[in-house]
């Protein structure tokens, strides 16, 4: 039986960390993720966890601390946002290529400039190819649930995991949430038993060695295979989590997609707004639906192709822009997934939306569907690269 609570997303993630009781946390504050290490440091100070809390001088050092701890055989965690994630970038690549299953809580926030502290996905998307598994949450509940699953997933394939939620929208907003009993959490997550680690006296080894051309590509191929293997692990862990809690997770969530003729694809908290718009449109007899991506890395190409194969038109909504004069990152990968699956029937468009915290409302989503209506009626896609609700 779960424990009913009212928590912000940051509190929920910090509580999940407390229940897991990791070995090391390296942390440096940045809005809006600062509360996570703040809450967790209180657990350390109160003796509620055995974690070694290391306050460092920068986000680069926070991730370096985690790399050292994880390489030594310890479970290591951190939290960051926005420019802090950018500052970590060098070490993000080192963590992934060293195959260290660090868990990083990310409260997604816009990047400068102009200076902005509100939500979009520019930070996470900016490091999307660093080699980390990336799970996105719609709600505070999902942020908590994703964190409980993250260590199982990362440690199974030897890759670090980002648990992403939307800054301020979920990180600071308070919602009803169901927490699991700590003994169940500990049993579900299990003990970390690395095969190779620096403090193993019976196996002298180096971490982060120089990779000559004769070896570098093979290391990268193994890293790529781990990301491919992570798909099945995410499904398996999500299923087991559902058996424990009643909340089952996969790589995507389909909402009213069984008979949908038009669909939108997006990630994060905007899915809640989209669901309400879809409910209202369904009451009018409209066959519309949503595909919410939970796992951006590994990218759910097969699931997306299956979800969209019968729709007539779809819109991918990116809370970020690649500035390539063509499209946002989710649209590019969704289009590639359909192409790889040999699916060419649905007509797709891309909307860049919500940058720097610009509101997305139910009417915003309805406008997107109204544009899909025109595409279905005329058979003409028109401009595929669009900005939603911006003063041109």
pLDDT, tens digit, for every residue of 244-299?
999 999 999 999 999 999 999 999 999 999 999 999 999 999 999 999 999 999 99
Q: What is the mean pLDDT of residues 15-43?
A: 98
| Residue for token pair 């070896």 | 215
Residue 392's pLDDT band (cuts 50, 70, 90): confident
Mean residue pLDDT across the chain? 97
Collapsing DSSP states into helix, strand and coil, what is residue 259?
A: coil
Q: In which order are the strands placed within the sheet that holds 24-27?
A: 52-55, 24-27, 76-80, 103-108, 161-166, 133-136, 295-297
In this predicted structure, the answer to whether residue 1 has a pLDDT above a threshold of 70 is no
Contacts of 339 (CB under 8 A, 6+ apart): none
In this predicted structure, the answer to whether residue 371 has a pLDDT above a threshold of 70 is yes
Per-residue pLDDT of 326-348, as tens digits, reads 999 999 999 999 999 999 889 99
What are 349's two structure tokens? Answer: 């468009």
Distance between CA atoms of residues 279 and 326, nearest Å:
31
Q: Among the residues of 7-58, which ranges form H helices?
A: 9-20, 35-45
Per-residue pLDDT of 106-154, as tens digits, reads 999 999 989 999 999 999 999 999 999 999 999 999 999 999 999 999 9
Note the pLDDT of residue 344.
Answer: 84
CATH number for 252-387 (one of 3.40.50.920, 3.40.50.880, 3.40.50.20, 3.90.1010.10): it is 3.40.50.920
Q: What is the mean pLDDT of residues 76-85?
A: 98
Note the pLDDT of residue 26.
Answer: 98
Residue 208's pLDDT band (cuts 50, 70, 90): confident
Contacts of 227 (CB under 8 A, 6+ apart): 131, 133, 157, 159, 297, 298
81, exposed or middle or buried, with CB in 10 Å at 0-12, 13-18, 19+? buried
pTM of the complete model? 0.97
| Residue for token pair 């991918």 | 316
Contacts of 225 (CB under 8 A, 6+ apart): none
Q: What is the mean pLDDT of residues 53-65?
A: 98
CATH number for 3-245 (one of 3.40.190.10, 3.30.479.30, 3.40.50.970, 3.90.1570.10): it is 3.40.50.970
Note the pLDDT of residue 235.
Answer: 98
Any idea where the domains of the chain sit in the sequence? 3-245, 252-387
Q: What is the mean pLDDT of residues 200-211?
A: 91
């Amino acid at each position: 039986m779960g424990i009913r609570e009212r928590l912000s997303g940051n509190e929920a993630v910090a509580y999940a960390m407390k229940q897991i009781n990791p070995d090391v946390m390296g942390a440096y504050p940045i809005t809006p993720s600062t509360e996570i290490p703040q809450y967790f440091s209180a657990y350390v100070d109160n003796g509620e966890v055995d974690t070694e809390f290391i306050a460092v001088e920068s986000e680069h050092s926070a991730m370096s601390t985690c790399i050292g701890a994880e390489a030594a055989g310890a479970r290591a965690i951190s939290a960051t946002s926005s420019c802090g994630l950018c500052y970590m970038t060098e070490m993000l690549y080192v963590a992934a290529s060293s195959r260290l299953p660090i868990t990083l809580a990310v409260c997604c926030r816009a990047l400068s400039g102009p200076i902005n502290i509100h939500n979009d996905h520019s930070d996470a998307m900016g490091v999307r190819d660093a080699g980390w598994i990336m799970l996105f949450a719609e709600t505070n509940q999902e942020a908590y649930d994703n964190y409980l699953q993250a260590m199982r997933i990362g440690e199974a394939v030897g890759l670090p995991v980002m648990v992403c939620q939307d800054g301020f929208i979920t990180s600071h907003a308070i919602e009803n949430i169901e927490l699991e009993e700590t003994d169940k959490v500990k049993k579900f997550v299990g003990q970390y038993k690395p095969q190779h680690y620096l403090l193993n006296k019976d196996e002298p080894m180096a971490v982060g060695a120089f990779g000559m051309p004769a070896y570098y590509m093979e290391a990268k191929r193994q890293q790529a295979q781990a990301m491919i293997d992570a798909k099945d692990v995410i499904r398996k862990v999500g299923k087991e989590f559902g058996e424990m809690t009643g909340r089952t997770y996969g790589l995507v969530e389909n909402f009213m997609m069984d008979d949908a003729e038009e669909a939108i694809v997006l990630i994060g908290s905007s899915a809640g707004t989209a669901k309400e718009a879809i409910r209202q449109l369904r009451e009018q007899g409209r066959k519309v639906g949503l595909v919410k991506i939970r796992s951006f890395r590994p990218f759910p190409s097969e699931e997306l192709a299956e979800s969209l194969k019968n729709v007539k038109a779809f819109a991918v909504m990116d809370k970020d822009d690649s500035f390539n004069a063509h499209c946002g990152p989710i649209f590019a990968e969704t289009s590639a997934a359909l192409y790889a699956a040999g699916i060419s029937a649905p007509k797709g468009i891309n909307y860049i939306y919500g940058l720097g915290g610009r509101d997305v409302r139910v009417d915003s989503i309805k406008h997107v569907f109204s544009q899909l209506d025109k595409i279905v009626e005329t058979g003409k896609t028109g401009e595929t690269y669009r900005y939603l609700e911006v003063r041109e």
